[in-house]
Amino acid sequence: MAGQLLVLDNVTAGYGLGDVLHGVDLAVSEGEVVCLIGPNGAGKSTVLRTVSGLLRPGGGRVLLRGEPVDALSPRERLLRGIAHVPQERSLFPAMSVWDNLLMGGHILPGSRGGRADVRRRADVIAERFPIVAARRGDAAGSLSGGEQKQVELARALMLDPALMLLDEPSIGLEPRARHAVFETVRSLADGGRTILLVEQNARSGLAVSDRGAIMESGRVRLTGSGVSLLADPRVARLYLGAGGGTRKEEV
Ligand SMILES: Nc1ncnc2c1ncn2[C@@H]1O[C@H](COP(=O)(O)OP(=O)(O)OP(=O)(O)O)[C@@H](O)[C@H]1O
């Protein structure tokens, strides 16, 4: 299909004790936001790791713009535009917010990586993330979890990535910070960013996504538009909380 940025074709992968992914097929088009949902242990984070290169697939292919990237290192994939924001905190806590942001750009090769270019890009991004401007000199570790997540998202944007992989960005955050994360994802989506998102807050995740993909036991079982999955009674019963009502922990 034209415009497909990322394709996973029959991908198998695991951590040495047998496969966790048992033939994952998934495609993400340019400019599309796709949300992976499913029970704990279904393999959602593992899918993101096979895309960013933290894990090599045992079988199948991962294609970026039609070219296999399976053999590339995480760094090489980053340079091709795949930015992974992991679930766990990933800022350097003793470094300032600003230096953390600049770190996001230093991998840029050649002239794109010139210090002035990196600073200019950081200035542009700081305008979009008020927390970066407000706390730029503070140690990143002194920020709340939600604020750190915003800085992580800002840092990932330093490379102007072709594809953002966001692993449960709302997990563990209090409601206001969770809301802010979904607002950020929505504004990235509105700006045309291509995103593969993993979310436990399935309702909120699907609401900011063009499409959802439901994973179970290492396979994608069902895909559909975010709107259609939200309206599907089986999906509502299994993944969105009984009766389709908004669960307390959701935005
Ligand atoms: N580093 C690892 N080493 C060994 N096994 C792992 C590792 N990471 C994940 N697993 C196992 O792989 C399986 C899938 O985990 P994964 O984190 O991809 O699931 P998930 O769908 O993202 O679920 P969750 O919402 O719980 O994170 C689980 O059985 C998990 O225990």
pLDDT at 216 over 90: yes
- Judge if 154 and 169 occupy the same domain: no
**Centroid of chain to Cα 57:** 19
pLDDT per residue as tens digits for the range 158-214: 989 999 999 999 999 999 999 999 999 999 999 999 999 999 999 999 999 999 999
- Judge if 102 and 188 occupy the same domain: no
The residue contributing the CA closest to ligand 1 atom 30 is 41
What pLDDT, on a 0 to 100 scale, did the predictor assign at position 108? 64
- Judge if 153 and 190 occupy the same domain: no
Q: What angle do CA 142, 188, 205 make, to 5 degrees?
A: 85
- Which of 11, 20, 165, 216, when mutated, tests ligand 1's pocket best, judged by the most ligand atoms within 8 Å of its CB? 20
Q: Which of 160, 179, 194 is the last residue of a domain?
A: 160
* Atom number of ligand 1 nearest to Cα 14: 12
pLDDT per residue as tens digits for the range 2-18: 489 999 999 999 998 88
The residue contributing the CA closest to ligand 1 atom 9 is 46
pLDDT at 246 over 70: no
- Which of 44, 48, 167, 197, when mutated, tests ligand 1's pocket best, judged by the most ligand atoms within 8 Å of its CB? 44
- pLDDT range class, residue 58, cuts 50, 70, 90: very high
* Atom number of ligand 1 nearest to Cα 38: 21
Range of the domain at 28: 1-81+161-251
- Judge if 69 and 168 occupy the same domain: yes
Q: What is the dihedral of CA 227, 129, 165, 93, to 10 degrees?
A: -140
pTM for the model stands at 0.92
- The domain tally of the chain equals 2
- pLDDT range class, residue 146, cuts 50, 70, 90: very high
- Judge if 104 and 224 occupy the same domain: no
Who has greater pLDDT, 63 or 238?
63
Q: At 239, which CATH number?
A: 3.40.50.300
The answer to whether 226 and 206 are in contact (CB under 8 A) is yes
